[in-house]
Amino acid sequence: MEHRARILIVDDNVDSVELLAHCLKEGGYEVERAYDGKTAIEKAQSGNIDLVLLDVVMPEIDGHEVCRVLKSAEQTSHVPVIFVTVKDSPEDETEGFKLGASDYITKPYSMRHILSRVNAAVHTKQLQEEVRKRNAQLSDPVYTDGLTGLRNRRYFVERLREEVEKARRYRQPVSCLFLRPTNVDKAANDHGAEIADDMLVEIAFCLNNHSRSFDIVSRFAESKFAMALPFCGFSDANRYASKIHTEIDERSLITPSSLLGIDVSMGLASCGPEVRCDADGLMEHAQAKLYEAMVEGNRGVMSVDLSTVA
């Protein structure tokens, strides 16, 4: 059965708690309530909380101290905290992020806005857990990218050569897809290297989650991804690339000031069973299409069918 994320709402105002609880339940979440800092820490340390919505202004133990305790304990350091508060000065917001909060929402707010930010935070947490799990399962660090958990360039090139040889031997099609986020450098400049890394991890998760078990998915270079698609001709490879592009286009990242979308360009090259192409040529054509898409500002797929190239 699919796990329903459990949200802990912390506020000494009962009406505010119940309003948020109703919104989150309508959004498909399970809800826990705490009306003071001490109870909040105890419930978060129970081990079944996926995210904390935390007010700042509370008697005795305030929200800042609750966040400090949660982020300093190994057991709860991974649990995202979103401040929901009337304290709306830039200094208050900066303090919240310094304490380790994932997001900062000021009152008054709309329920739609709250649900959007909670959805993004929960998804990011699930993504990070998937990546950590995948990293733990990969036993050969020589062929593994440390950030994304995908295979690296060395592994990709070796395996693509094997797949191209098999495709030629058994007269089967094979395709190669390259992808790069076009706004990753701007994300790093505007929001820092950590946001840029989050963007790469988000793309990696999407590629892994929507590829076949025998596709070869890699982080080819700093911000470039490469996929080898065995038994996949030009039409099928284009459909796959379009699906991946749509999935990535629907995702977003949390920054201190906004939700950040991910823009990608893609280059695809396919080789049919009647064409004797090699792995280096397939990569060269796919990367050429990627660069062509980037130069033309194409947020989509540019492709070439080598079966039709003289």
Query: Which residue is associated with the tokens 């996929």?
Result: 227
pTM: predicted TM-score of the whole model, two decimal places: 0.57
Q: Specify the range with the lowest mean pLDDT, choosing from 132-136, 145-149, 175-179, 261-265.
A: 132-136
* Res 134: pLDDT: 57
Domains, the chain, with CATH or none: 6-133 (3.40.50.2300), 141-308 (3.30.70.270)
d(CA 291, CA 283): 12
Which of 115, 63, 66 is closest to 87 using CA atoms?
Answer: 63
Reported as a single tens digit per residue, the pLDDT across 198-215 is: 999 999 999 988 888 889
> Cα angle at 76 between 59 and 145, to 5 degrees?
145
* Res 156: pLDDT: 95
- Residue 160, helix vs strand vs coil: helix
| Residue 38, φ and ψ in degrees, nearest 5 | -60, -45
DSSP string, 251-286: -EEE-SSSEEE--EEEEEEEE-TTS---HHHHHHHH
Are residues 51 and 30 in contact, defined by beta-carbon separation less than 8 angstroms?
no
pLDDT of 90 strictly over 90: no
* Res 3: pLDDT: 60
Q: What is the DSSP letter of 144?
A: B
pLDDT of 1 strictly over 50: no
Write the CB contacts of 128 (distance below 8 Å, at least 6 apart in sequence). Answer: 78, 201
Percentage of the chain surpassing pLDDT 90?
A: 53
What radius of gyration do the chain's Cα atoms show? 23
Mean pLDDT (whole number) for 210-226: 92
d(CA 282, CA 304): 10
**What band does 161 get if pLDDT is binned at 50, 70 and 90?**
very high
Percentage of the chain surpassing pLDDT 70?
A: 94
Using CB atoms within 10 Å of the CB of residue 90, give its burial: 0 to 12 exposed, 13 to 18 middle, 19+ buried.
exposed
Q: Choose between 300 and 120: higher pLDDT.
A: 120
